[in-house]
């Protein structure tokens, strides 16, 4: 005990600069020890984990741990270096406020990465559920955490935050009246975040505008339509509008599945069973339509001049809708010609000449050549679409692997977005 007492007395009698240097060295040693004893083992544990949120949380929490060690080291150093109790007591509130702010920052960053995981865990896994957490709810929760943390930190410094806010009440009232529409848009954006009728990437129809959601902001939502025009719709308008979300329908757990309906009208001379069987065979042979649920053909109407049939089929992804429709209509036309089925159309008597026969012969040759070239073009586009879909699935599997660095995930996500855009372009061209 005497040795320790003598050592303490010796250290207390050292010059101020020497004691300050010892404090800095001590803090550096604790930082190094924390990296060896805590951060590195934690990093090894995270690499072996299959979860992705702990990889994202490792870096921010490591930085905040180092900041806490520096703050605590500075606090303990001040107890030794400052001999005047009055000066030391003046610094105490600042250290207390810094601890509160560090704890607030740790809580906020934990909410950022853990809350989406918790929200997704409690969601019902049905056809209309969108995976992932809600960014706006996460933002509001983090804002509340920072507000409470700032409030208690300012209380440590004897500053009443509510008193400051009360003094700004009149100014806030004036700004609220002047920015009525803006405030209303912000409030409605919160309602959209809670209800979540759509998210980025969904194909929606709002106010007769059909397109893909590219951004959901505080004031407005941006939609990219088929003509690649950016449509900006205020959140006020969206809240009071009917919304059709093509990415949340479907059935059997496939949210993007879409029904494809085609109406065909034939002459009264045609046999109903013959037409129905021909349409069924065409739908079943389609490379775009699903085998389950099976296609269906029903007689829709017998009007004054035609027998009306309706073909029901399904595509796995709504992005395939127009491509599948194009294939079906083209094949129906070719099949009906070979089967001798007549599609109803207004008729008129036309007197042909020999020149018309020659022109029709040349036209037939050009049609045959165009048909061959178009077949090659369709095969090329189909191959490109298949390759893009295959690569997209490979990227999804690669991103789901544990231990992938954040920078690598960003590159994979960027490539996946480019492929999604390419598939959407194919769909628009279709």
Q: Do residues 186 and 330 both lie within one domain?
A: no
CB atoms within 10 A of CB 387: 12
Point out the least confidently predicted range of 202-211, 254-263, 363-372. Answer: 363-372
- Residue 352 lies inside a defined structural domain of this protein: no
Q: Do residues 401 and 301 both lie within one domain?
A: no
Closest CA to 73 of 36, 104, 40, 31: 31
Question: Looking at residue 318, what DSSP letter applies?
Answer: G
Question: Residue 128 is part of which domain span?
Answer: 10-167
Q: Do residues 274 and 321 both lie within one domain?
A: yes
- Given 150, 167, 184, the domain boundary residue is 167
Buried b (16+ CB within 10 A) or exposed e, 65-92: beebbbbbbbbebbeeeeeeeeeeeeee
CA distances from 319 to 29, 348, 360 (A): 59, 40, 38
139 compared with 229, residue with greater pLDDT: 229
Q: Is residue 123 over pLDDT 60?
A: no
Q: Whole-model pTM?
A: 0.47
Q: Do residues 72 and 158 both lie within one domain?
A: yes
- Given 299, 332, 347, the domain boundary residue is 347
Across the range 226-252, mean pLDDT stands at: 83
Buried b (16+ CB within 10 A) or exposed e, 326-361: ebbeebbeeebeeeebeebeeeeeeeeeeeeeeeee
Q: Do residues 15 and 148 both lie within one domain?
A: yes
Across the range 248-275, mean pLDDT stands at: 83
**Tokens at residue 18, please?**
């020497």
What is the reported pLDDT for 168? 60
Q: Do 38 and 61 touch, CB atoms closer than 8 A?
A: no
Q: Do residues 160 and 33 both lie within one domain?
A: yes
Across the range 407-423, mean pLDDT stands at: 66
DSSP 247-295: TS--BTTBTT-EEEEEEEEEETTS-HHHHHHHHHHHHHT-SSB-SSSPP
**Residues in CB range of 218: below 8 A, 6 or more apart:** 185, 186, 189, 235
**Residues in CB range of 300: below 8 A, 6 or more apart:** 263, 308, 309, 310
What total number of domains does the chain contain?
Answer: 4
Q: Do residues 142 and 173 both lie within one domain?
A: no
- Residue 17 lies inside a defined structural domain of this protein: yes
Mean pLDDT of the chain: 78
**How are beta strands 258-267 and 296-302 bridged, if at all?**
unpaired
Q: Do residues 183 and 106 both lie within one domain?
A: no
Q: Do residues 159 and 179 both lie within one domain?
A: no
Indicate which CATH number applies to the domain containing 185: 2.30.30.60
Per-residue pLDDT band at 264 (split at 50, 70, 90): very high
Span 270-328, pLDDT tens digits? 888 889 999 999 999 998 898 888 899 999 998 888 999 999 999 888 878 888 999 99
Span 156-190, pLDDT tens digits? 888 776 666 665 665 566 555 655 667 677 777 77
Handedness of CA 289, 295, 298, 300 (dihedral sign): negative
What is the reported pLDDT for 331? 93
Q: How far apart are CA 193 and CA 415, in angstroms?
A: 27
- Residue 4 lies inside a defined structural domain of this protein: no
């Amino acid at each position: 005990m005497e040795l320790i007492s003598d050592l303490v007395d010796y250290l207390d009698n050292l010059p101020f600069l020497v004691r300050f240097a010892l404090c800095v060295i001590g803090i550096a040693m604790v930082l190094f020890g924390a990296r060896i004893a805590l951060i590195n083992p934690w990093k090894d544990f995270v690499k072996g984990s299959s979860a992705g949120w702990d990889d994202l949380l490792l870096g921010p929490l490591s930085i905040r741990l180092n900041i806490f060690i520096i703050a605590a080291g500075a606090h303990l150093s001040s107890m030794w270096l400052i001999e005047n109790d009055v000066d030391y007591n003046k610094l105490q509130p600042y250290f207390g406020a810094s601890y509160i702010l560090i704890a607030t920052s740790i809580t906020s960053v934990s909410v950022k990465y853990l809350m989406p995981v918790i929200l997704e865990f409690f969601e019902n896994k049905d056809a209309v559920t969108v995976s992932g957490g809600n960014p706006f709810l996460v933002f509001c929760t983090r804002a509340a955490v920072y507000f409470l943390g700032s409030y208690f930190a300012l209380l440590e410094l004897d500053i009443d935050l509510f008193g400051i806010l009360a003094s700004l009440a009149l100014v806030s009232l004036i700004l609220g009246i002047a920015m009525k529409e803006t405030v209303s848009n912000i409030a409605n954006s919160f309602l959209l975040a809670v209800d979540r009728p759509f998210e980025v990437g969904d194909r929606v129809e709002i106010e007769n505008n059909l397109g893909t959601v590219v951004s959901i902001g505080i004031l407005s939502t941006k939609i990219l339509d088929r003509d690649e025009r950016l449509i900006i719709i205020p959140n006020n308008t969206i809240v009071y509008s009917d919304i059709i979300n093509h990415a949340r329908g479907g059935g059997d757990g496939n949210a993007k599945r879409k029904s494809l309906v085609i109406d065909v009208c034939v002459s009264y001379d045609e046999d109903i069973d013959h037409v129905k069987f021909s349409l069924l065979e065409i739908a079943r042979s389609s490379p775009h339509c699903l085998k389950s649920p099976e296609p269906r053909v029903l007689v829709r109407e017998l009007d004054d001049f035609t027998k009306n049939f309706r073909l029901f089929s399904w595509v796995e992804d709504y992005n395939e809708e127009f491509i599948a429709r194009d294939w079906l209509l083209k094949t129906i036309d070719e099949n009906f010609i070979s089967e001798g089925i007549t599609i109803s159309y207004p008729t008129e008597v036309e007197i042909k000449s020999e020149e018309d026969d020659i022109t029709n012969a040349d036209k037939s040759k050009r049609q045959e050549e165009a048909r061959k070239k178009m077949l090659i073009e369709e095969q090329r586009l189909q191959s490109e679409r298949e390759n893009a879909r295959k690569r997209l699935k490979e990227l999804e599997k690669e991103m789901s692997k544990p231990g992938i660095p954040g920078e690598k995930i960003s590159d994979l996500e960027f490539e996946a977005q480019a492929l999604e855009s390419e598939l959407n372009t194919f769909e628009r061209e279709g």
